[in-house]
Every structure is written in structure tokens, then in C-alpha cells.
């Protein structure tokens, strides 16, 4: 896993956006940072949570994923959805009510209880947290030129 990544959402990423999103959405820059959440005891014996580099993670570690976005265009962007793949080998914390999920690489979106997957025998089953491939948030109705923001979520390394 890498601790930091940068994505400029271009034409390929526009396929993952809602149909009404204008082409200007390519002006949104997204920087991703990941940190491991560690619990340490301070000098007074009190537990303290700290964020450390996610260069090395192990199963059971909790990571914090920070998504920083900026409209680098000259115009406002409307109806933008911030879409990110779930880091490989992680299980996102699904408690954020604004977070939409996909279990099929971004083709369909909803809350976990709304998503279904096909079974090998031709049936369907409810999606499980382990099935989540992408997360998405709808940003403000209008993102002015130069506007910035941040969204974060937690995940557990499997």
C-alpha cells in the first residue's frame, strides 16, 4: 500500500460520474493520503491515538484515508461525485451515511443493504462489506473555482 497518491480526474474517470456531470469535472484534483491509526500510552499512562505512515501495514491495522480535493479549473463544477477505489486488502468502515458504495467496480451505487451480487449458480445474494470495491460521496451542488475540501474514512486491513 502506498501512503500518498494523486489523481487528476480526466476523461476515463468521467465514466464513473453521474450522467449529468459536466466535462469540467476533469478540473477536480484529488490527493489521497493514508495513515495507520496507532494506540500509544503517553507519559501519564493515558492512551493516545496517533496517525503514522501507512508504508507498512498488517492485518487488523486500522487506516485513515484522507481525500483532499481542489477545483483547479476556471469555472465552477456542478454535481460532482468524488469516487475512489477501496485500497486493496482493506475493509472500509461503512457507517458514514453520505458514503455510497459499489460492489461491481463502480457500475452500480447504493448503501450496502441495497446492493446484490450474482452467485455461481445463477442466483443473487446480498453484498457483504468484503465485496465493496469503490466508495463515493456527492460533493456540494456547486464547487467554485479554487475551492478545496477534504473527506476522510477509516478502513481495516484484512
* pLDDT at residue 13, as a whole number: 34
Angle at 115 between CA 111 and CA 121, to 5 degrees: 160
User: Which residue, among 24, 98, 79, 35, has the nearest Cα to 61 in the 3D structure?
Assistant: 35
Name residue 92's beta-bridge partners: 155
Angle at 33 between CA 79 and CA 70, to 5 degrees: 35
* Grid cell listed for 109: 451505487
What pTM does this model have?
0.76
Domain count, the chain: 1
Helix (H, G, I), strand (E, B) or coil at 36: strand
pLDDT tens, residue by residue, 33-66: 999 999 889 999 999 999 999 988 999 999 999 9
Cβ neighbours of residue 33 under 8 Å, at least 6 residues apart? 3, 4, 65, 66, 68
Task: Output the furthest CA–CA distance in the chain (Å, rounded).
Answer: 59
Please report where in the chains the cell 487488523 appears, as a residue: 60
Question: CA–CA separation, 17 vs 142, rounded Å?
Answer: 15
List the CATH number of the domain containing 31: 2.60.40
Task: Give the Å distances, CA to CA, from 116 to 4, 17, 66, 124.
Answer: 32, 21, 28, 6
Cβ neighbours of residue 43 under 8 Å, at least 6 residues apart? none
* pLDDT at residue 25, as a whole number: 55
* pLDDT at residue 23, as a whole number: 42
* pLDDT at residue 20, as a whole number: 36
* pLDDT at residue 141, as a whole number: 83
The residue segments making up the domain with residue 27 are 4-157
CB contact at 8 A, 39 and 47: yes
Show the low-confidence residues of the chain (pLDDT under 50): 1-24
Amino acid at each position: 500500500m502506498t501512503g500518498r497518491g494523486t489523481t487528476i480526474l480526466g476523461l476515463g474517470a468521467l465514466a464513473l460520474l453521474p450522467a449529468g456531470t459536466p466535462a469540467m469535472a476533469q478540473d477536480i484534483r484529488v490527493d489521497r493520503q493514508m495513515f495507520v491509526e496507532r494506540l500509544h500510552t503517553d507519559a501519564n499512562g493515558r492512551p493516545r491515538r496517533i496517525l503514522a505512515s501507512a508504508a507498512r501495514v498488517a492485518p487488523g491495522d486500522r487506516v485513515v484515508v484522507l481525500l483532499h480535493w481542489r477545483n483547479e479549473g476556471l469555472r465552477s463544477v456542478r454535481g460532482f461525485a468524488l469516487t475512489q477505489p477501496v485500497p486493496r486488502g482493506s475493509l472500509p468502515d461503512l457507517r458514514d451515511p453520505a458514503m455510497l458504495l459499489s460492489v461491481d467496480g463502480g457500475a452500480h451505487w447504493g448503501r450496502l443493504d441495497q446492493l446484490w451480487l450474482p452467485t455461481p449458480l445463477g442466483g443473487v445474494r446480498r453484498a457483504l462489506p468484503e465485496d465493496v470495491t469503490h466508495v463515493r460521496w456527492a460533493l456540494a451542488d456547486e464547487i467554485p473555482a479554487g475551492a478545496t475540501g477534504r473527506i476522510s474514512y477509516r478502513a481495516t486491513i484484512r
